[in-house]
């Protein structure tokens, strides 16, 4: 169960990082459109 939890943590972290990148890109696009 420990390994499964660790794998889940890594997956969620990766997804979170992707979300952060998309959020930054979204903010950049917003600034450019203004």
pLDDT tens per residue, range 1-34? 788 887 787 777 776 677 777 888 888 888 888 7
Note the pLDDT of residue 1. Answer: 77
Note the pLDDT of residue 5. Answer: 83
* Number of domains making up the chain: 1
Cα-based torsion angle of the residue sequence 14, 20, 24, 25 in order, rounded to the nearest 10 degrees: 40
Note the pLDDT of residue 27. Answer: 87
Look up the pTM and report it.
0.38
Other residues' Cβ atoms within 10 Å of the Cβ of residue 9: 10
Domain span holding position 23 = 1-34
């Amino acid at each position: 169960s420990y390994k499964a939890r660790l794998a889940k943590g890594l997956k969620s972290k990766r997804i979170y990082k992707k979300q952060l990148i998309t959020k930054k890109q979204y903010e950049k696009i917003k600034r450019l459109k203004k």
